[in-house]
Amino acid sequence: MHRLGALGLGLAGILLLTGCAERIAALTPQVFSRPKPKDTSGIPIFTEEVYAKKPLRVYKIPTPQPGKPPEETVIGETGSYRVRKGESLLDIARYFDLGVNEITDANPGVDIWSPPVGSKVVLPTSWVLPCCNYQGMVVNVAELRLYYYETDPHEPGTTLVRTYPVGLGRDDRRTPIGKFSVTGKTVNPTWVIPPGILRDHIREKGDYRTMIKGGDPDNPLGKYRFELSLEPYRIHGTNIPWGMGMTVSNGCTRLYPEDVEYLFPLVKVGTKGEFLYQPVKVGVRNGQVYVEAHPDLYNRGSRIPPAGASTLKAAGVDGDSPRVEAVLHESRGIPSPVGSEGSRAASL
């Protein structure tokens, strides 16, 4: 469970029984620009109210053209944060819109619950975009992260990119791979409890409820839900935010409450999307080639994809070079430069 050790076991015990969306179909957006991640200066003490108003960044890239390699496929900046008294890595991750997997992979050996006060932790707030769908909603299952692309209405030739950490299906109920479209949107959805989870609730808690109404604190769907054509899976909020970056659901995709509230009015019914599985990503920014690697979440294999291999080859970088091998071995989820792009002849 992404090197989480005791954390994974502890949180999983809390989260497993909350389940996924029901098994049958059942704001004016505001563009924020988060400053470059830095130390604690000016950052308020973390509370639910602060999380609800945390700044969310919108990135811009040149719109990729069909049949041509994208000009830019790396967004964000890796930063650092100085730990304050009483803060856990989970608290810090949520404010900077990271999953548990991301902040722990980027900071191996750091105590998740009690990182040393005054120490600096790495904020892995930069990402290589998954290849090669740059439209609509894209969930890269292997990194537990969602990307939302839309055309910039004010700047022709520019695509806006928003990205959020997610919680996904546990190993015995894996989130699928495949394309979908958004077929509906629901505020305060009712959770119809799947039979398997109902049996767990009865056995472990003596809870015989077959459904939980929208708005109930026990409802694991949170306040907002996207229905998908890929039945029975959904993208929705949560009543337990600390599961972002973990495999704890029955296959559906969970978002931080504040993230899904921001995303909900932006995504229209009919929006296309896709679940991908790319533990290794290769991208380009300012003529430099980057590789980003994550642990192989579902043990499906973590080789460099063909498009990524083409990009490396065009840049004159050997996929078996020590620099690339080191990035793959460490799997810290941070884009790392491996060589300059010598040619744009590669077909992504």
Q: How does residue 93 score in pLDDT terms, banded at 50, 70 and 90?
A: very high
Alpha helices in 132-252 (DSSP H): 195-205
For residues 218 and 190, state if they share a domain.
yes
Catalytic-residue membership of 154: no
Residue of 154, 252, 294, 329 marked catalytic: 252
Query: What's the whole-number average pLDDT of the chain?
Result: 86
For residues 213 and 284, state if they share a domain.
no
Q: What share of the chain is helix, strand, coil (3-state, %, to 5)?
A: 20, 25, 50
Q: Which domain holds residue 232?
A: 6-276
Among the three residues 276, 303, 319, which one is the final residue of a domain in this structure?
Answer: 276
Among the three residues 276, 298, 320, which one is the final residue of a domain in this structure?
Answer: 276
- Domain count across the chain: 2
% of the chain with per-residue pLDDT over 90: 66
| Residue listed under structure tokens 């900071």 | 107
For residues 44 and 109, state if they share a domain.
yes
**Average pLDDT of the residues in 187-197:** 85
Among the three residues 241, 276, 311, which one is the final residue of a domain in this structure?
Answer: 276
For residue range 19-52, list pLDDT tens digits in order: 454 332 223 333 333 344 444 558 999 999 999 9
Residue type for position 101: N
Is 251 contained in some domain? Answer: yes
The predicted pLDDT at position 41 comes to: 57
For residue range 57-82, list pLDDT tens digits in order: 999 999 999 888 899 999 999 999 99
Q: How far is CA 332 from CA 7, 131, 250, 256, 300, in A?
A: 18, 19, 26, 22, 18
* Reported pTM: 0.87
Catalytic-residue membership of 252: yes
The predicted pLDDT at position 81 comes to: 97
113 alpha carbon, distance to own chain's centre: 21
For residues 36 and 174, state if they share a domain.
yes
% of the chain with per-residue pLDDT over 70: 86
For residues 172 and 62, state if they share a domain.
yes
Is 347 contained in some domain? Answer: no
For residues 186 and 284, state if they share a domain.
no
Residue of 20, 131, 201, 236 marked catalytic: 236
CATH number of the domain within which 122 lies: 2.40.440.10
For residue range 229-257, list pLDDT tens digits in order: 999 999 999 999 999 999 988 789 999 99
For residues 206 and 166, state if they share a domain.
yes
